[in-house]
A and B are shown apart, each in its own frame.
Chain A
Amino acid sequence: MTRRQRRWPIHLALIAVCFVMLVPFYWVLKTSISGENIFSYPPSIVPRDPQPFYYVDVWYAIPFARYFLNSVVVSILTIVANVVLNAMAGYSLTQTFPGKQIVLMLFLSCMMIPFQATIIPAYLITGKLGLLDSYLGLALPMFSTIICIFVFKASFDAVPRSLIDAARVDGLSEWRIIWKVMMPLAKSAVATNVILSFIWSWNNFMWPLIATRSQDMQTLPLGLARFISYQEDTTGALYAFCIMVLAPGILLFLLAQKEFVQGLTTGATKG
């Protein structure tokens, strides 16, 4: 590379963008530990008299641990189902079979159906399956996601044909080919599936709202929404709650980000 001396403008631009991306986090974090009246003007740039009481408030205001546990269980179910089902579907799509085009079209158009419009039938169907107010019922609608199927498909497409043929000659079943040959080569697709399905399940708001009935089944976004209406923005506790809810997602992402980025790479472009 020849433009070694012209790097500082790039750094400058990127630092500026990162600043814009991070400022909202900082502002909410600052509010959540601020000891002063959060409605006084002008707002202080650094937290004044920092204190952790808002976090304590949140902990006692709602059964945070229970909601957290529910969110975790639903997310784990969703993640496992997504990895397994999407891998199977993704593998099928790398094969040739009659009706493939229809399946593809169907998948693509399924992406266009807004969930908010499907609440009532989705509720009735889940009820018919006897899964209302259960972890499985909460997770089921998200058990397979179209984007993630394509991520797997693209990743499997990149696996050399010869490898698969060799496995077939060795007498491996298709099932085993997926799990023994393909999956180890598609680690980043798995990571992408894990992160994306986690994000979607962790953030889901509308469905748990409708499909849960008992207090014990509520998930964190519901807690957050309940918190807005009950506290009505009067204290910094709302912002403390935001931070507590966001932290797990950010942590998981930071842990898995390398594979995730690679997974999107293979998923998004020609393998």
Chain B
Amino acid sequence: MDRRTVLKTGLAAAGTLAMPAYLRAQSNKKISVLTWNIADQEALFKEEFDEFKKANPSVEIEWLDKKGPDLPAFYQTQLVAGTAPDVIDIQGALWVEWAANGALLDLTPYFQNDPAFVKMFNPDYMSSFVYDKKNYLVPFYVAKTLLYYNKTMFKEAGLSGPPKTFDELLASAQAMGKGEKTGFLTLNFDWLYWPLMKMNGIELLTPDYKKPAFNTPAAAELLDRLAKSTAAGAINKIAWTGRWVEPNGAFASGTVGMLQAHSASYFFVKGQGRWINPETLGATQAPGDWSTPTNHGFGVSKSSGNPELAFALVKHMTSVKWATRLAQIRRVLTANIEADKAGLESVKADDPLAYAVLQTQLEHTDKMTGNWPLANDAQIKEAFWPEFQNAVLGRKDAKTALADAERAVTRVLRRS
């Protein structure tokens, strides 16, 4: 079958012809920006765009925002139709796949032209956006996991402070898990549970990313321990079944000792848990200082008609001025060093606890894990996670589960 005639003319051609008016008008410099579920900042973006337009009078900016689960569907449809937004805000590891597929513009030359710009950002966060030695994204706002702990429950169980090792973590969880109460919870989407593996020295893949490396006796033992602790109520089952609302909600109800989650959880938990204050809630690094990031970054679509302008807009939106505003209003970190300093300063005064939480995000940024630059990250995740879940929920023996996971992951690696 001649693929060129079939798909190229059939659909790609339809795509180009499909160019709606807003695209044909691109000649008079229209830049479209797609953000990821941050519609609440409409006022801020408007200010940012107005300022940008003042500096670039002939430019029009179209702002789109989609919520997380819907954004990939929207973006990829636009991609097929050849109408991808010029600037796009991407969370997690999705960008690697799109970069590998040729959807994103390599920003390395732009970075080389402007070393001062690059220097503004935390190098560890910056390097989490490198694939195949090329830079693809500029940090928009960043977060990584930390360990929240319920000080009241720690006191009741006679524990002096947060755990320093994985063994202590399990032991503390065991001490607190009684009746309705459980000791530990983790978020599990993306690879947010991976610090638990890393603490025990387990790697997902071999260093060349060609083969699985997780099927080891140590891993089997770890999964076994996690399963036993889960069965005994030391670890809350929701750690392995819930998504976002459930684990955060459970921790907010005050019956869970520890929660491994990223900084965004704090605001959710605080909204639901009336018990939360600096006396009752602690925020610290997980044992070994390991954490998994969930960052947002701005990329430029390769199909953009005005890549220079698009990058200029990215620079504008991540500049000290606007990053500071975002950090202050949204109480996030932006990886823009100066902006975060200013942002933290303003948070310190009116919410010391939020300050403590955000502070953890700037520490030990060299110990981030679970963010491999893999073009098929989503597929590997899908191949690995269900088996992991089976093991820790006691639905499958740890060894069998790991072997099955290894088979599934190998299949994904071979396919690409």
Binding site for B on A (CB under 8 A): 37, 39, 119-121, 123-128, 130, 132-133, 209-210, 213-215, 225-226, 228-230, 232-235
Closest CB-CB distance, B175 to chain A, in whole Å?
25
- With A130-B20, A132-B20, A226-B67 given, is the CB distance from A124 to B81 under 8 Å? yes
Contact of B67 among A121, A132, A229, A235 (CB under 8 A): A229
Q: Which residue of A lies closest to B21 (CB)?
A: A130
> A39 vs B15: C-alpha distance in the bound complex, in angstroms?
48
Chain A positions within 8 Å of B73 at CB level: 119, 209-210
Binding site for A on B (CB under 8 A): 11, 14-15, 17-22, 37, 39-40, 62-70, 73-74, 76-77, 80-81, 83, 244-245, 249, 252-253, 268, 271-272, 274
Closest CB-CB distance, A209 to chain B, in whole Å?
6
- With A124-B11, A234-B268 given, is the CB distance from A209 to B81 under 8 Å? no
Q: Which residue of A lies closest to B274 (CB)?
A: A37
- With A39-B253, A127-B15, A233-B245 given, is the CB distance from A119 to B77 under 8 Å? yes
Q: Which residue of A lies closest to B253 (CB)?
A: A39
Chain B positions within 8 Å of A126 at CB level: 18
Closest CB-CB distance, A179 to chain B, in whole Å?
36
Closest CB-CB distance, A127 to chain B, in whole Å?
3
Chain A positions within 8 Å of B76 at CB level: 120
Contact of B18 among A39, A119, A127, A214 (CB under 8 A): A127
Chain B positions within 8 Å of A232 at CB level: 244-245, 268
Majority secondary structure of chain A interface residues (helix, strand, loop or mixed): helix
| A–B pairs, 10, beta carbons within 8 Å | A39-B253, A124-B14, A126-B18, A127-B81, A130-B20, A132-B18, A225-B70, A226-B39, A232-B244, A234-B272
- With A39-B272, A230-B37 given, is the CB distance from A209 to B20 under 8 Å? no
Contacts A226-B37, A235-B271 given; 8 further ones with Cβ under 8 A? A120-B80, A124-B11, A124-B14, A127-B19, A130-B20, A229-B37, A229-B67, A232-B268
Chain B positions within 8 Å of A215 at CB level: 63-65
Contact of A120 among B77, B271, B274 (CB under 8 A): B77
> A120 vs B20: C-alpha distance in the bound complex, in angstroms?
16
Closest CB-CB distance, B275 to chain A, in whole Å?
12
> A226 vs B68: C-alpha distance in the bound complex, in angstroms?
9
> A128 vs B80: C-alpha distance in the bound complex, in angstroms?
13
Closest CB-CB distance, B32 to chain A, in whole Å?
8
> A209 vs B77: C-alpha distance in the bound complex, in angstroms?
11
Q: Are B67 and A225 in contact (CB under 8 A)?
A: yes
Contact of A123 among B39, B40, B77 (CB under 8 A): B77
Q: Are A230 and B70 in contact (CB under 8 A)?
A: no
Q: Which residue of A lies closest to B245 (CB)?
A: A233
Closest CB-CB distance, B316 to chain A, in whole Å?
21
Closest CB-CB distance, B179 to chain A, in whole Å?
15
Q: Are A210 and B18 in contact (CB under 8 A)?
A: no
> A37 vs B271: C-alpha distance in the bound complex, in angstroms?
10
> A127 vs B14: C-alpha distance in the bound complex, in angstroms?
8
Contact of A128 among B18, B67, B245, B268 (CB under 8 A): B18
Closest CB-CB distance, B21 to chain A, in whole Å?
8
- With A119-B73, A120-B80, A209-B73 given, is the CB distance from A127 to B67 under 8 Å? no
> A210 vs B83: C-alpha distance in the bound complex, in angstroms?
13
Q: Are A121 and B11 in contact (CB under 8 A)?
A: yes
> A4 vs B74: C-alpha distance in the bound complex, in angstroms?
60
> A214 vs B65: C-alpha distance in the bound complex, in angstroms?
9
Chain B positions within 8 Å of A125 at CB level: 14
- With A123-B81, A233-B245 given, is the CB distance from A210 to B67 under 8 Å? no
> A232 vs B39: C-alpha distance in the bound complex, in angstroms?
14
Q: Which of B67, B68, B268 has its CB near the most chain A CB atoms (within 10 A)?
A: B67
Q: Which residue of B lies closest to A209 (CB)?
A: B70
Q: Are B37 and A210 in contact (CB under 8 A)?
A: no
Chain A positions within 8 Å of B272 at CB level: 39, 234
Chain A positions within 8 Å of B69 at CB level: 229
> A225 vs B65: C-alpha distance in the bound complex, in angstroms?
13
Chain B positions within 8 Å of A121 at CB level: 11
Chain A positions within 8 Å of B21 at CB level: 130
Closest CB-CB distance, A116 to chain B, in whole Å?
9
Q: Are B77 and A210 in contact (CB under 8 A)?
A: yes
Chain A positions within 8 Å of B63 at CB level: 215
> A55 vs B271: C-alpha distance in the bound complex, in angstroms?
19
Closest CB-CB distance, B241 to chain A, in whole Å?
17
> A167 vs B14: C-alpha distance in the bound complex, in angstroms?
46
> A229 vs B244: C-alpha distance in the bound complex, in angstroms?
10
Contact of A214 among B39, B40, B62, B66 (CB under 8 A): B62
> A37 vs B62: C-alpha distance in the bound complex, in angstroms?
39
Closest CB-CB distance, B140 to chain A, in whole Å?
17
Nearest 5 pairs of A and B residues by beta carbon: A127-B18, A229-B67, A234-B271, A124-B14, A132-B20
- With A226-B67, A230-B37, A230-B40 given, is the CB distance from A128 to B14 under 8 Å? yes
- With A121-B11, A127-B18 given, is the CB distance from A230 to B39 under 8 Å? yes
